[in-house]
Structure 1
Amino acid sequence: MSAPESLPLPALRAWMAHALPTLPAIDRARRLAGGQSNPTWLLEAGERRYVLRSKPGGRLLASAHAIDREFRVMGALVGSPVPVATPLAYCDDETVIGSAFYVMSHVPGEACWDPAVPDADVTVRHGMYAQALQTLVALANLDVDACGLSDYGRPGNYFARQITRWTEQYRASETESIAAMDALIQWLPTAAPDDATRAVLVHGDFRFDNLLWSPQGELLAVVDWELSTLGHPLADLGYFCMALRLPRNGVLPGLAGLSRSELGIAEEEALVSAFARATGHDPGNRWRFHLAFHFFRLAAIAQGVMKRALQGNAANPQALAAGRMTRLIAQMGADVAL
């Protein structure tokens, strides 16, 4: 069963009247574009707007689509240096709209689906990347105890646990044999860095299209927290830089082949150095592992998207095309690692 294109508004209104009695009744709901994982709707009540995010329908992989964790972590981050929408209410009663969901405030920003930000001038684009880096630094420096997130994940062995988890997820959704993935699954556990550093909040999917921007290029919110956990301070930086290495592709657009200097975007080495100075966490000669690990993980995610697309319960109509990127992404990881 795929995610519905419309919501049962009478049932949703009844639930919101009880859970959020101070909010006006919803007039209409519109499915928002984007997102391979959890269906998202814009709710409108006169001039006021809210956002609903739900699990997709159909059979799901264990631990996937963790919208309850999204709801918790965003609540903990409200008022912190990491900008987020304000979560308002969570519903685990699947009879209301057909799956668990939560409602949050509407952030009047837009995602930028192309990390080259072609519509911005060099100065604005440079500032946007500077804000993204500042947010990565803020995440790495966040006091998780003070935020009430000390139990949000298990301390230590982050990469070992992640490699095991994503290997299991990949095998559960595997539809064909990919030699590069098999090679990464063998190599990554042998190359993982010491994970005895202080655990920090890891977003888990920190890339440009999970940031919402004002028309002037101000970062308004970080979205899509379903993969967040406590982990290694370099995890999000590695993923962000991996994403910038992707090819110029309509499904997963990257910056490969473009001149960073002409765009006003710092080179990868400069991003890593600036992060290290601001946080005290320097990958050193382990940077190759960080990149390869994230190519592996992204390939595992893409394979999950492919499996859902073949089963008919993917949230996005481009899911099949995204899933077909698995082999390319895995090969890029193997090229970095081996």
Structure 2
Amino acid sequence: MGLLPTPDRPAGEQGPDRSRVRLTGGDDAFGLDAQTVLGWIRSLGIEVTDPVRLDRIGAGQSNLTFRVTDAEGRRWALRRPPLGPLLASAHNVAREARILSALHGTDLPTPAVHGVRYHRDVPHVLMEFVDGLVVDRMSIAEALSLRRRRAIGSSLARTLARIHAVDLDKTGLGDIASHKPYAQRQLKRWSLQWERSKTREMPHLDALTERLQVSAPVQQELTLVHGDFHLRNVVTSGRYGDIVAVLDWELCTLGDPMADVGTMLAYWSEHGEPSLGGPSPSILPGFPTREELVHAYLRHTGRDAATLGFWHALGLWKIAIIGVGVLRRALEEPHNRSETGTPTQEEIESLIAKADEAASAAGI
């Protein structure tokens, strides 16, 4: 068992109970055993009272997240990769734990990591359970006031600016990835993921890939990049709407900060636009428009948005490929399915069409 020495902080509440799977006893399809988890927590020197219960939470369909609750109501979050065969370098929760530990103590809101444990060569990460609300489905967003929706959107832009301001030398994160041009690295990585995870040929996606490859902008800056920054990957304050934790750092790397802005916009769909898993909460009144999000980010950073059209198109292209991977994992191992459903072939096709449209709008 490898441990990451980080201070313990109280567990908290992360939105309403959205449990789909509850584990209280022996070994389960997820490779988790409540008694083993109990012993692990005790070995970390953390106070815990038997029995513990594990509930799968969240709408994520990549790494699996569980809430661990003991008899006294104390809570932690436990993360592990999805089930079944995995693509090389994907779903690396141990690397994610290293990044979170490095960010602990900065002004960036992240959960504290308590430890990393390997079970049958599969890494499991135990971390703080952050108090707040995850707006990961339409019903939660609909219950929010217009003012709170606006506050959440504004906080997204501010928080992304803070991610890109992280000092790589002070945090020791300057070596987590290559310093070579990020656009080419992303195109190479996700093209390879597409080849390994596709369920059928899509010539229109291949054509878009070629257009993106010949239009990749010259890299001007290198910062920490979250890689998957969007509304469902943050915890917001239960009262005010400011972001109290940024989650899901498995795609974190070093690269062009505008790539994160493009990804955020790709997830931030507007009326009539496609999204995976049904309509995005961002279409509701009160949430800022994409243009307002961009302006807020630029005000905080002073950066130039000249390459944003490319990164928006690449973000949509990447999400479509991620959707294909999620669909394939769900077909191969049904336990990987989220309660919110699995991306459909039609949704993926629509995203590719939207990516093509965004590329054309950017002159690609």
- TM-score, scaled to structure 1: 0.89
Q: 1:319 to 1:167 in 2, by over 3 A?
A: farther
* Residues 270-318 of structure 1: CA deviation (Å, up to 9, x unaligned): 322332232232122x322111100111011011111111212562245
Report the RMSD for the aligned CA atoms in angstroms: 2.3
Q: Which residue of 2 aligns with 1:13?
A: 38
Contact 1:84 1:221 (C-alpha < 8 Å) held by counterparts:
yes
| Paired residues for 1:7-86 under 5 Å | 7-18=32-43, 20-26=44-50, 27-45=52-70, 46-86=72-112
2:336 equivalent to 1:315: yes
Q: Please tell me the residue identity of whatever aligns with 2:63.
A: N
Q: Please tell me the residue identity of whatever aligns with 1:265.
A: F
Deviation of 1:243 (Å): 1.0
* Residues 167-212 of structure 1: CA deviation (Å, up to 9, x unaligned): 0001101111223311211111111111132x11111111101111
Q: Which residue of 2 aligns with 1:128?
A: 152
* Residues 213-237 of structure 1: CA deviation (Å, up to 9, x unaligned): 2321232211111111111111111
Contact 1:201 1:228 (C-alpha < 8 Å) held by counterparts:
yes
Q: Which residue of 1 aligns with 2:195?
A: 171
2:222 equivalent to 1:162: no
Instruction: Tell me the distance in 2 between the aligned counterparts of 1:76 and 1:9.
Output: 29
Q: 1:87 to 1:213 in 2, by over 3 A?
A: same
Q: Which of 202, 222, 225 is residue 225 of structure 2 equivalent to?
A: 202
Q: Which runs of 5+ in 1 are unaligned?
A: none
Q: Which residue of 1 aligns with 2:136?
A: 113
Q: Please tell me the residue identity of whatever aligns with 1:14.
A: G
Contact 1:57 1:313 (C-alpha < 8 Å) held by counterparts:
no
Contact 2:262 2:309 (C-alpha < 8 Å) held by counterparts:
no
Q: Please tell me the residue identity of whatever aligns with 2:99.
A: V
Instruction: Tell me the distance in 2 between the aligned counterparts of 1:55 and 1:220.
Output: 24
Q: 1:319 to 1:187 in 2, by over 3 A?
A: farther
Instruction: Tell me the distance in 2 between the aligned counterparts of 1:314 and 1:322.
Output: 15
Contact 2:258 2:308 (C-alpha < 8 Å) held by counterparts:
no
Q: Which residue of 2 aligns with 1:269?
A: 291
Instruction: Tell me the distance in 2 between the aligned counterparts of 1:301 and 1:252.
Output: 16
Q: Structure 1 stretch 217-226 or stretch 165-174: which is displaced more? A: 217-226
Q: Which residue of 1 aligns with 2:114?
A: 88
Q: Which residue of 2 aligns with 1:294?
A: 315
Instruction: Tell me the distance in 2 between the aligned counterparts of 1:16 and 1:68.
Output: 17
Q: Which residue of 2 aligns with 1:280?
A: 302
| Paired residues for 1:180-219 under 5 Å | 180-197=204-221, 199-216=222-239, 217-219=241-243
Q: Please tell me the residue identity of whatever aligns with 1:44.
A: T
Instruction: Tell me the distance in 2 between the aligned counterparts of 1:84 and 1:52.
Output: 15
Q: 1:252 to 1:228 in 2, by over 3 A?
A: farther
Q: Which of 162, 174, 177 is residue 138 of structure 1 equivalent to?
A: 162
2:355 equivalent to 1:333: yes
The size of the alignment, in residue pairs, is 326
Q: Which residue of 1 aligns with 2:19?
A: none
Deviation of 1:21 (Å): 2.4
Q: Structure 1 stretch 310-319 or stretch 31-40: which is displaced more? A: 310-319
Deviation of 1:265 (Å): 3.2
Q: 1:314 to 1:184 in 2, by over 3 A?
A: farther
Q: Which runs of 5+ in 2 are unaligned?
A: 1-27
Instruction: Tell me the distance in 2 between the aligned counterparts of 1:307 and 1:188.
Output: 25
Deviation of 1:252 (Å): 4.4
Q: 1:323 to 1:64 in 2, by over 3 A?
A: farther
Q: Structure 1 stretch 45-54 or stretch 73-82: which is displaced more? A: 73-82
Deviation of 1:319 (Å): 8.0
Structure 1 residue matching 2:126: 3-state secondary structure:
strand
Instruction: Tell me the distance in 2 between the aligned counterparts of 1:127 and 1:147.
Output: 29
Q: Which residue of 1 aligns with 2:29?
A: 4
Instruction: Tell me the distance in 2 between the aligned counterparts of 1:21 and 1:163.
Output: 44
Structure 1 residue matching 2:168: 3-state secondary structure:
coil
Q: Please tell me the residue identity of whatever aligns with 2:349.
A: R
Structure 2 residue matching 1:42: 3-state secondary structure:
strand
Deviation of 1:139 (Å): 1.0
Deviation of 1:12 (Å): 2.4
